[in-house]
Structure 1
Amino acid sequence: MRPFTYTGVENKEQALNVFTEKSHYLSGGTNLVDLMKEDVEKPEQLIYVLNLDYKDVKQNDDGSLTLGAMLSNAETANHKLVRTKYPLLSMAMLSAATAQIRNMATNGGNLLQRTRCPYFFETSMPCNKREPGSGCGALKGINSKHAIFGYSESCIATHPSDMCVALAAIGATVEVQKVNGSSRMINFTDFHRLPKNNPEKDTNLIKGELITEIHLPKSKFADNYYYLKIRERSSYAFALISVAAGLEIKNGIIKSIGLAIGGVAHKPWKLFKAEDFLTNKKPTKENFEIAADLEMKDAKPFEGNKYKVKMGKKAIVRALNQALVREA
């Protein structure tokens, strides 16, 4: 690991003021420190923000919920308000990583974990995310776990987060503090980027911006929800395919739906076509299958990950069926 300076701060103003071009914010460090050890990330300054006051789960007057960015994944997933009003999010978060990592990792840090693949860690191989312009080793290499949507010639890696797939389905908003002291809100579907020609940029944050809170809209999916995670082993593995499904059903009709899939793109992939098709329709297996076909017909797999198309279709249908029959 390369030398760096360590700066502790007591409030957001201090954090923003000491930030430089070679700085990284540090909270739980479960992703950043690993990358520093591998000589992939090379910050000259770490700014420790875990002591900032954004560690609450707050119920708002309009029925929405606010999650502090410095709260741990474990505290968030097990919080009574999250478990009862947003069980889809809780289920997704508890499927991630290990208990030890969930105890350390923060909500803001989860949003910022790098989209990556094995070539990103292997410094002897080309990787445009790690070294822009060096090429993508996975394009003609081993790409069985890589993207089938939204990729470019520059990068075909997939986003690793389970929490973020659920947040995309729920329709969250991220609040960030800007360097000039003001704040801005970012719709979750706009927070992460597709690679295009700049795969080194995982998010649409401006350098130095600090995530402070995540806002969840009024709960609609507390009764019918499911997070499906398909992986090579039963624990401690990123998803090959994951699906977050939430249904609001009234009088036997789907009044609203939240649906997103993971393991297929550089960012959590919101299933807009399926949502539009299923809204105001009956929650039947036939309709679920049509919706899944609508989404997956645009997939462009590689030789090594063609299985993801069929798996994705079946996963969408299975997650929706499980959400339908789930007891409140």
Structure 2
Amino acid sequence: MWIPYDIRAALKVESSRDSISLSRADARMREFLVGFFLRNPVAQIWELDLFVPEDLHLPQIGDQAEGGAGPVRISLHGNQGGKLAEILCRLSAPSAEEALARAHAAIKPRILRYLMETGRGMAIAGWRIADLTHDARWRCTPFRPSALQLDLASLAPVAPDLVPIVTLFQRARNATDAASRLMAGFAVLHAAATGHAALARSGAASLRVSEEMLIHSGAINAPEDLQGIGLADLVGLLRPHHDRLFTAEGVLAPLADDLAAQKLLSQLANLADLVAHRLIVAETRARNHAAPSLVGPEGVGV
């Protein structure tokens, strides 16, 4: 079963409904605490290769001239092994979303500086937000799915002509960033839309983007009207976002740094990734004329 891997999803509520409602209704500037969990993207461990023997408070960022928002107070926190595992930001904002955006803008350049100084891989694994006035809390961390049981003995290897296509999908699934996922997923969609022989029985001509696809990928919140469009239209809609990843000379371009732009990119990348999977599965099913057994941990079909 395909699952979205990107963490830029809706915030998960971790406090009472009343506290969340009070926070949502309050438009005043007030104090928030935003924590960013950090990870090593190579080892997939929720810590960085940086020692922080004790909590470290950094100089304040910003001042009262910044639209009345006040400073962002940043502190670094290590885990039990003394390695940097979380960055906390204390700041004023009128909403949880604005607090997250301000905090993210404050810490992103710092993480890039640490990466530059060390040459080590560094990424944000997730975040948590607390409205200290209303005791409202949210969290956004990667979804950890349960393991699946396949009838492995019945599954033949991928056909040789499909290997390049499935390898592209593998790159999308294994990507640690939305841009790479979009590039790989888009390549599969483009191949299907332009009549690649390996996807001749994938149903590309009749494919339509469904509400279920949009909900599953998170693209239901994208500003584009995606529901019901066909594959060719989807490729056309995704192409500007794909091409924006490259300069006119064909080299990788710097990505937009703000969280909203990153979230949109991740939603579209997830959708491209999901549709690529549907096309490949449909092609394989059409060739085999039968679906392999795919059951969940309790023996229930998924």
Using structure 1 for the length normalisation, give the TM-score: 0.25
Higher gyration radius (CA): 2
Higher relative contact order (CA 8 A, sep 6+): 2
Greater fraction of residues in helix: 2
Using structure 2 for the length normalisation, give the TM-score: 0.27
